[in-house]
Amino acid sequence: MDALFHTFDTALRTLFAPHHSAHATPQANAPSAEMSDEEKRHAAALMRVNHVGEVCAQALYTAQAYATSNPKLREHFTQACIEETDHLAWTEQRLAELGSRTSLLNPLWYAGAFGIGLVAGKLGDAVSLGFVVETEKQVGAHLQSHLDAANGGLPEGDQASRAIVSQMYDDEIRHADNATASGAMELPTPVKKLMHAAGKVMTTVAHHI
């Protein structure tokens, strides 16, 4: 029962409470350039998508921590969840600086990711960790694309957002490596493709709503 209450409390905090990072917001080596209104809207849309990704990460890790019967693995997921809170705080802060907001569909995104995490957790620890590895790899690739200004990524002048995304990328890859070292199994190709398709829907919708 305590685990259930903790899981519910985490969901409420993720969706409705302001977030505070344990680590300082990453700072760029150079100041941001003045951006046009269109560039600010584009940067905000990408940072909103990144914020949704962190909401989903919180849901996934929370569900997996709830589902596993392995105390060591539960601690692993709980610690990862705490670390991802930094990302939530950083992206929220940057969205406010850009004069924008988080996704209106965050409760929906959270519920979907929680369901996936719960199913993965019930399939066994190796499968659950495999979902972490694949999720973090796909998120990492997505974040990396946001650093490519020439192909629709963040504006070159938005050094503040780019510094945040760069640090997030490093953290996500580290989480994937940690999950691999903890005994993750590689997911079947059809599952990876399904996850990619679901992620594409989420990023496309969250870009606007």
Q: pLDDT at residue 164 above 70?
A: yes
The tokens describing 184, both together, are: 């993750």
In angstroms, the CA 176 to CA 181 distance is: 9
pTM above 0.95, yes or no: no
CA–CA separation, 158 and 32 (whole Å) = 5
Quick: pLDDT tens for 65-119: 888 888 888 888 888 888 888 898 999 999 999 999 999 888 988 888 888 888 8
What integer is the mean pLDDT of 147-165? 88
Domain architecture of the chain: domains with CATH:
35-206 (1.20.1260.10)
**Is pLDDT of 165 > 90?**
yes
Q: Is 35 within 8 Å of 158 (Cβ atoms)? A: yes
Contact 91, 167 (CB under 8 A): no
pLDDT tier at 44, thresholds 50, 70, 90: very high
